Amino acid sequence: MAGVLLMNVVLVEPEIPPNTGNVARLCAATQSTLHLVGPLGFRLDDKTLKRAGMDYWEQVTWKCWESLESLQAEAWKAEGGERKGAATDEGGSVKGEGRPTFYYVTTKAKRPYTLPRYREDDYLVFGRETAGLPKTLLDENPETTITIPMFNPQARSLNLATAVAVVLYHAIWQVKSTEGTWPVFPPAS
């Protein structure tokens, strides 16, 4: 894949092939890496997965992992060691020495996704469509759980691909913008 990879999108135990295909297409469009954490609720050769991703699968940098822990261990090892816990500043951004931060997107958090200060190597983690991320994971990482505010209290959640798009594009805007304006990307060829 040409270009610089911008962000990391993690789907933990995704269940619905078209959602994953749409997220793959989004990752191709934004030059973000897609991480699929098993067990998956479908086979990777599923027709609906391929159809939703269309011909973008060849343009996506993606990896499969047996567990979130194995992904984290590899990410933190590449950046100089395992990371336990995290200190945050007043805005909710994680302070670190260049290590990537894992942000856990959930309807159960209070901190809006707009508060953290994202970096290119950060990971945006999303849970299963029917259950979200495990409560124990959220309880262990309160400083890095974030949410997309919903104004209708009867709405349980957004579609997975929609939620990924909202948070991912905001993170890219933060990382790549200058003085609050959208970055200029090279035109598609």
- State residue 5's pLDDT score: 73
| pTM recorded for the entire structure | 0.85
- State residue 85's pLDDT score: 45
Mean of pLDDT values over 22-50: 89
Q: Note whether 98 and 122 are within 8 A (CB).
A: no
- State residue 10's pLDDT score: 98
- State residue 106's pLDDT score: 98
What is the tens place of the pLDDT at every residue in 167-187?
A: 999 999 998 886 666 666 655
- State residue 83's pLDDT score: 47
- State residue 84's pLDDT score: 45
Q: Note whether 60 and 11 are within 8 A (CB).
A: no
Sign of dihedral through CA atoms 172, 174, 175, 176?
positive
What is the tens place of the pLDDT at every residue in 41-98?
A: 888 886 877 776 677 888 999 999 999 999 999 998 876 655 444 445 544 445 555 6
For domain 8-176, the CATH superfamily is: SPOUT methyltransferase, trefoil knot domain (3.40.1280.10)
Mean of pLDDT values over 29-47: 90
Break the chain into its structural domains and give their ranges.
8-176
What is the tens place of the pLDDT at every residue in 96-152?
A: 556 899 999 999 999 999 999 999 899 999 999 999 999 999 999 999 999 999 999
C-alpha separations of 172 from 15, 16, 117, 156 in Å = 26, 25, 11, 26
